[in-house]
Amino acid sequence: MAMSKVMVVDDEEDLRNLVKLVMEREGFEVETAENGKDFLEKVSKFKPDFVILDVMMPGLTTKEILEKLKEKNVDPKIMLLTVVRFSDEEIKKLAEKGKIVDYLTKPFDVPELISTVKKHVQ
Amino acid sequence: MGINTLKSTLSRRLSLISNHKDDEADGCGALPDENIIELNKRKLTRMVKEQHLILENIPIMVYLKDDKGRFIRINRAFHSFICRYIGKIDRESISGKRESDIFPENMAMLFLEDKEVLKTGKRKMGIVRGLNIKGKTIWLGLDKIPLISNGKVEGLMGVLKDVTDYIEREKSLRESKDRFETLAETSPFAIFVFQIEKVVYANGTAEKITGFRRDEIVGGKFWDFVHPDYRDIVRVRELDRQRGKDIRPYECKIVTKSGEEKWLQITGNRIIWEGMPAGIITAIDITTIKIAEESLRESEKKFRTLAECSPLDIAVVQDGRIVYTNFEKALVTGYSREKMLSMDFLDIVHPDFRKMVTEKYRNIISGKHVSPFECKLLDKNGKEKWVLLSGSLIKWNGEPSILVIILDITDRKRAEEEALKAKKRLENILHAVADGIRIVGTDYKVKMINRRMARMARVKMAEGTDMVCSEMFGCDQCGTDECSLRRVLRTGKSFQTESLRFTRDGKAIPCLQYVTPLRDTDGNIVGIIEDFRDISMIKRTEEKLRRAHQILKKKNEQLEKLNSLKSLFLNITSHELRTPMAAIKGYAQLLEMDLSDKLDEKQKNILHTIVRNIDRLDRLINDILDVSRLESGTLKIVPEKCKFEEIIDRAIETMRGQAQVKGIKIEKMVEYDLPELFIDKYRMEQVVTNLLSNAIKFSNRNSRIIVRASKKGDKVVLEIQDFGRGIPKNKLKKIFEPFYQVDSGMDRKFGGAGLGLTIVKGIVEAHGGNVEVESKVREGTTFRIILPTRYIEKERKIEIFSRK
């Protein structure tokens, strides 16, 4: 079975690397992006199964990213990383924009990050 | 003719009276057969017996004589008469005797006619007068009936009746009649006697009064000369009188022969006139009295009619007493006539006016002219009434009296008083108002000013009027089209304006001014009413306010800037702090995972402590953010439909670890059919978690915590009860304040920033609920949150932050 591909999008390098390390440690093929623009450029080539997307980045907003992602030839599951809490209702609304399956608030628990991603990518 | 024949004849005659049929049967019937004869015989015997019985017992004296004039028999009444007046004799011995054999000479006259009757066969009747027997005069009525059989006189039946009483009475009557007539003829009164309707007697005076001759009166009807108006009354009364009714004296009018009307007073009685009931009346001519009386009544009637038509109370006062009032109920005082007539006039006069009224009364009585005057009366309810009294001297029943006319002027007086009061009131108001008011005529001259106006313009009240308006209180519009008077004359309308005014000594006063046209009764403008309000103070205040406003505006701008800085700070705090924290926590955890088999316990603990402190820092940041949001009112409540029990379960689950550390048991008692709530799940979980965390913190080791949830009406109530140290009463109120610790020394021991309860209260209240707390020191604390089953506030829109 081919390795699942996970893409980590965060403007914070330390966090981006942390998630990358954790994901690689769990055996995923990982690609990173620094912001929305970077992500949209790389996503078509990398074709991730799963995207871990920081909600608050300079440049494009999450909403814009999600809309533009639809124009690409990919359809990954997306998990949001956020500092604010979302209600079920808010998640539902965001889900209309893309295939959002979950979210984690910062600072997150590493074991929780692992289990959440594994829950959706198998 | 034998005695038996006579007897049978007698029987037959008597039977004629009692039974007519017998006569027929006996006289002219067909030849009777034996039986019938026998039957008739018996019948006859019985009848004779009966007739005998009657004859014996009637109170009339009866005797029978034969054709020779000899007594056959007498009945018992006759026998006892004889016994009484002549002496005792045997009744049987009479038979066959003649009267001369039995009766004394003077009594023989009783039978004088017997011979003639027997001779002629004709009946004779008559009265024997004054038969003097034993010193007594006896009158007897006689009836001698011949007994005729076959055309032959066979005897007679004599009937005698004692009529002494009748005769005596008649005699005395005749005597009294004579006496009466003598008396009547000399009477000065007219006397009439009449029976039924017919006059049977009239005296000489009657002739004089009526003008008719006596022979014209007697035989006619009494009421022939009675005036037609009175005829029926007289007729009824006089007929009643004869019937025995008691008739009181009465008056009636008659018409004399010459056509003159006369008044008679009639008194009368019932008498027996010639054996018949009759009426006797005495008539007195009262015409002169009557005329006098009538004219008197006529004039009084006129007066009363006049008085009673009057809309005024009229009274006649005699010696201070009211002797006449025109109304059944006095208009002014309301007293009844009856009551008034028992009062002194002064009784109805108000005490303050009694002296005056007495004086006026004396003057009138003494003949002086007194003009109508005003005074106060008291009505029957003691209410004061203003009246106009006019009095004039009159004669009433011959006595000098005062005719008082009372006119109620209470309403007028009251109106006058009211008008006066109103005027006074208006003046008071005019002078009391804070505005200066003046009236300016069309000649630009001031007609009136109030006190405030005088003060405002610095003139004296007296000198203010009659000044030219601009001289009294100058105006920056003077001479222009905006001059108040000119404007009113032009438009005819009232208006409001601001103007700058000047006092005579040159002080400028900014004024707000209301100008109203003053019109006469025809509606022509005769001037203006100006109302000035000194607005210099307002102007100054306005200036101050404007300055203050500018300062405030500047400060507000600064505050707004600060506020945006604060939100920025909060955003930065939430995002910028969390990113490095996430990194620290994550790398520590990654290190722990990667090196788990290479690290010893101590090193593992170090990494664990790093993670734990990051979590604690995270919670602290969250709490600070929440409190700051609560304070700024920006805490987001995102309500969703959810089951309260699930929230409770999650919170308990979250806190179970902490509880187990202290050996505390969490007992859940939740009503199974709690309604679904529309709340913010996460926030409510935070509430329950905070409360549980608090409870665990202050519980003793190995104790328990009870979580109860139930429905009460349209509310859901959650209670979290611990059995810990409790909260002193004086600190209960403060526990919800931010950063408050019941015991600052506890801070170290229990940890936490003292924000938990503030957040709990804020979140619950943001849901429209409230928090209560009950506590006893050393017994424990119960927190109770009460939530409405329906969340009312609108759902807010989500925002996804961007640092663009």
Residue of B nearest to A23 (CA): B590
On chain B, the residues whose CB falls within 8 A of the CB of A109 are 585, 589
Residue A91 has pLDDT above 50, yes or no: yes
- Residue B311: the pLDDT is 72
pLDDT in tens, B358-396: 988 888 888 888 888 888 888 888 888 888 888 888 877
- CB contact under 8 Å between A14 and B580, yes or no, is yes
For residues B217 and B202, the answer to whether their CB atoms sit within 8 Å is yes
**Average pLDDT, integer, range A4-9:** 93
Can you name the residues that pair with B155 across neighbouring β-strands? B66, B147
B794 inside 8 A of chain A by CB: no
Q: How many CB atoms sit inside 10 A of residue B658's CB?
A: 14
Total structural domains within chain A: 1
More confident of the two residues B606 and B296:
B606
On chain B, the residues whose CB falls within 8 A of the CB of A89 are 638, 640, 795, 798
Residue B624 CA to residue B618 CA, distance in Å, equals 10
Query: What SS3 string covers B521-553?
Result: CCCCEEEEEEEEEECHHHHHHHHHHHHHHHHHH
**Average pLDDT, integer, range B496-523:** 89
> What CATH number corresponds to the domain at position A38?
3.40.50.2300
Among residues A52, A65, A60, A69, which one has the least CA distance to residue A106? A52
At residue B792 the predicted structure's pLDDT band, cuts being 50, 70 and 90, is low
- Residue B12: the pLDDT is 56
Residue B758 CA to residue B635 CA, distance in Å, equals 13
B680 inside 8 A of chain A by CB: yes
More confident of the two residues B289 and A36:
A36
Q: Which residue's structure tokens are 């919670």?
A: B619
B802 inside 8 A of chain A by CB: yes
Q: Which of A33-47, B20-34, B476-490, B651-665 has the lowest mean pLDDT?
A: B20-34
- CB contact under 8 Å between B583 and A15, yes or no, is yes
A61 min Cα distance to partner chain B (Å): 6
At residue B550 the predicted structure's pLDDT band, cuts being 50, 70 and 90, is very high
- Residue A33: the pLDDT is 95
Count Cβ–Cβ pairs < 8 Å, chain A vs chain B: 89
**Average pLDDT, integer, range B619-642:** 79
B612 min Cα distance to partner chain A (Å): 11
- Substitution target from A24, A63, A81, A83 for chain B, most B beta carbons within 10 A: A83
Nearest to B590 among A63, A86, A110 (CB): A110
Residue B705 has pLDDT above 90, yes or no: yes
Mean pLDDT estimate for chain A: 87
Query: pLDDT above 90 covers what percent of chain B?
Result: 10
- Residue B793: the pLDDT is 47
Separation in Å, CA B206 to CA B178, B186, B212, B257, B278 = 18, 11, 8, 12, 17
More confident of the two residues B771 and B464:
B771
Query: pLDDT above 90 covers what percent of chain A?
Result: 48
- Substitution target from A35, A56, A94 for chain B, most B beta carbons within 10 A: A56
Say which DSSP state B433 is in: S
A114 min Cα distance to partner chain B (Å): 11
- Substitution target from B584, B802, B803, B804 for chain A, most A beta carbons within 10 A: B802
Examine residue A107 and say whether the peptide bond preceding it is cis (omega within 30 degrees of 0).
Answer: yes
- CB contact under 8 Å between B586 and A22, yes or no, is yes
Note the ipTM here. Answer: 0.87
Say which DSSP state B398 is in: T
Residue B776 CA to residue B774 CA, distance in Å, equals 7
Residue B242 has pLDDT above 80, yes or no: yes
- Residue B32: the pLDDT is 54
At residue B688 the predicted structure's pLDDT band, cuts being 50, 70 and 90, is very high
Q: How many CB atoms sit inside 10 A of residue B6's CB?
A: 19
- Residue B752: the pLDDT is 60
Residue B131 CA to residue B134 CA, distance in Å, equals 10
- Residue B9: the pLDDT is 57
Residue B307 has pLDDT above 80, yes or no: no
pLDDT in tens, A40-66: 999 999 999 999 999 888 888 888 898
**Average pLDDT, integer, range B702-711:** 93
Q: Which two tokens stand for residue B219?
A: 């035989």
Q: Which residue's structure tokens are 């009276």?
A: B17
Q: Which two tokens stand for residue B203?
A: 């005296």
Domain of A108? Answer: 5-120
Nearest to B638 among A57, A89, A94 (CB): A89
- CB contact under 8 Å between B682 and A107, yes or no, is no
At residue B55 the predicted structure's pLDDT band, cuts being 50, 70 and 90, is confident
Mean pLDDT estimate for chain B: 82
Residue B111 main-chain phi, psi, to 5 deg: -110, 10
- Residue A39: the pLDDT is 93
- Substitution target from B589, B624, B634 for chain A, most A beta carbons within 10 A: B589
pLDDT in tens, B749-783: 444 667 888 889 888 988 888 999 999 988 899 99
- CB contact under 8 Å between B803 and A58, yes or no, is yes
Q: How many CB atoms sit inside 10 A of residue B45's CB?
A: 11
- Residue B19: the pLDDT is 47
- Residue B8: the pLDDT is 58
B432 inside 8 A of chain A by CB: no
- Residue B6: the pLDDT is 55
Residue B130 CA to residue B163 CA, distance in Å, equals 11
Query: What string of DSSP letters covers B659-691?
Result: HHHTTPEEEEEE-TTPPPEEE-HHHHHHHHHHH
Burial class of residue B683 in the structure, from the number of CB atoms within 10 Å of its CB (0-12 exposed, 13-18 middle, 19+ buried): buried
Residue B187 has pLDDT above 90, yes or no: no
DSSP H or E segment with residue B799: none
